[in-house]
Each structure stands twice: as C-alpha cells, then as structure tokens.
Amino acid sequence: MCRYQRKGKKMDAMERRKKRGRLRYNEDEIKLAITVLEQMEKTLDVMFYLMDKEGARPFVTILISAEYEDLRMLLDSEKRNTDLLFEVDKEQNLYTIICQETKIDGAYRFAERFIRALKIFKAKEIYAVEVEVRTNNHTAKEVVFKLIDTYVRAVHEERNGEIGFHSLR
C-alpha cells in the first residue's frame, strides 16, 4: 500500500463526497510536497523561461506511482527524449515527468496507455495525476502544490487506475 494513502478501510462513495471539500495533509504528504518541490523547482523555472523566450507553449507535469518493480524502466521506455523524468521516492515507486510542448489531452493519452501497460503487467495501486501549465503566470511552487494536491486527493479518494488532471491557465 502506498504510504501516502489513508490508513484503514476503504471509504464508501458517500464518505468520499463528504471529504472532498476538506483535505488535510499528513506528515508523509507534506514531506512529499517538499521533496517534489526541491527536485523540480529549478527545472520548472527553466520551463517558464523557455515559455517566455519561445512563446507560450504548454507543458504537463505528471506524478505517477504504482506497485510495480520495473516502473522506472517502463517509464524510461515510454517517455519521449524531450520528457524529463524525476525519481521522487524510489522506495514508494513515485516519479514525476515533465512533458514539454504537450497539452493535457496528449498527456492524458500517454498516461492512459501507460496505465493499460501497467495493468497488463499486473501492477497494483496505480495513481497518476497531471497538471497542464498553459502560461508562465504561475510559479514552480504553484505547479508543484497543485500536482501534489491532485495526487493526494486521488489517493485519499482511492482512484486507483484513474487519471486525475488539472489545468493552470
């Protein structure tokens, strides 16, 4: 079980709806946000610089985790050479990818294809979330916090095998 997941029994649909509006981070989730921010902040700053220099080209950040031994190898084989892969937590099999010049629909198709492959390989506890960044009106922190918020919500709501996404305009 992913350590960022709620302990205890699975929530039923009514309980999930009640909790949706209120989300509190536990210690591991706050540490996760700090780790992702430390790893990605400079890279996201470069992405914003490129958006300034070359015009507004959207990019997508993906946060993905799964109980699967060769997750990194599979991610490496599926990503493009322009995509940037970061290992967030090797023990928990948690990775982020920045997909340059990509819109949410392209990233969604990538994640969909990737999740299908993971299911074929019998992976468990698959969580994937995406944040599309369309403009440079945001900071790296805002992007990371939206990514973490989307991920933590997906885990708390037990959206295993689904793709959560958000767009920052």
Q: What is the band of 18 on the pLDDT scale with cuts at 50, 70, 90?
A: low
Q: Residue 23's pLDDT is what?
A: 59
Q: What is the band of 55 on the pLDDT scale with cuts at 50, 70, 90?
A: confident
Question: Is the confidence at residue 3, as pLDDT, over 70?
Answer: no
Question: Is the confidence at residue 22, as pLDDT, over 80?
Answer: no
Q: Can you spell out the DSSP letters for 67-115?
A: E-TTHHHHHHHHS-TTSEEEEEETTTTEEEEEETT--HHHHHHHHHHHH
List of domains in the chain: 25-168 (3.30.70.270)
Question: Is the confidence at residue 72, as pLDDT, over 60?
Answer: yes
Q: What pTM does this model have? A: 0.83
Mean pLDDT for the stretch of residues 98-121: 92
* Structure confidence by residue, pLDDT tens digits, 81-107: 999 999 999 988 999 999 998 988 999
